[in-house]
Structure 1
Amino acid sequence: MKVFGIAGYSGSGKTTLLEKLIPQLTARGLKVSVIKHAHHGFDIDRPGKDSWRHREAGATEVLLSCGDRWALMHERREEPEPTLDELLGHLSPCDLVLIEGFKQEPVPKLEVYRPENGKPPLFPERTDIVAVATDADIATDLPKLPLNDFVAIADFVVKTMQLQERPC
């Protein structure tokens, strides 16, 4: 599995970019997975549901399954936050894992940069940023990709990660 990151500050459009990029990559016959780092707690379960009740009762893991999908919820309790490598170990084999967030992880990344957010770009300080997706006129030697040109961004990811496209 190859790992490629999408980095940028909150509100820069990382999730929207991933939402448009994933179909571009899967249309090329690539199997793609995503890991998103959330800075705030989250819960995919609802109070009162059986799985919620099992977790509240103290289960460390609850696996939900139906005909369409399955999901594994793991309560960390007193465990430290898992590393990216540990999280990758939970994924099924695929061609590419896109990670959203994980700014500090030393993997190749595309920065989504919008100066209107009022935040400085990450790329001057991060050697693992290999390109910038932006519509701003910025000074950098890195490849600049138009923020909404998802085909060009997919082309860049495929080339950079040396992925082999397969006919669908």
Structure 2
Amino acid sequence: MLRGGRGLSAGVCALAAVLVLALGYAALSWWSEGGRALPPVGYLATLPLLLVAALVLAGAWSVRRTVRGRRASGPHDGLRGFRVLVLCQAAALTGAVVAGWSVAHALVGRAALALQGLGSDAAAALAVAACGILLVVAGLVGQSWCRLDEDPPGPSEAQP
């Protein structure tokens, strides 16, 4: 749970995606110019990303309910909230890396996209990139749900 800190920002995620895009484009271009085929990408790769996004949002929603007092808290809720926060941040960064790599793959394979259409690996890479962006959004939204707006009273401020 965040208290006062900003946490992970969308700018950091965008920077990670752009860096992976640049490095991935250079590596995949070098690979394909050597006469080798690009690694295959399938539409099935979107399913784990969507599942993780849903699980991240479900966990963060539970923390949000606890923070707002709508759910009874247990002895380890602070630790659980912190774990969910770290999961949200990891999901956002993972989504940024996946999106950057997938866009690089689609850019290198853009000729196949023009020739084969939706059946090409480039089209599947674009679908995976969209799911990566969705994972970034889910992670950042989940992180915002783990925010504590007020500090709880300390031991010296507690009422008898």
The answer to whether the superposition gives a TM-score over 0.5 is: no
Max Rg structure: 2
Q: Which TM class, normalised by the smaller chain length?
A: under 0.3
TM-score, normalised relative to structure 1:
0.19
Q: Hey, which of these two has a bigger chunk of helix by percent?
A: 2
Using the size of structure 2 for normalisation, the TM-score is 0.19
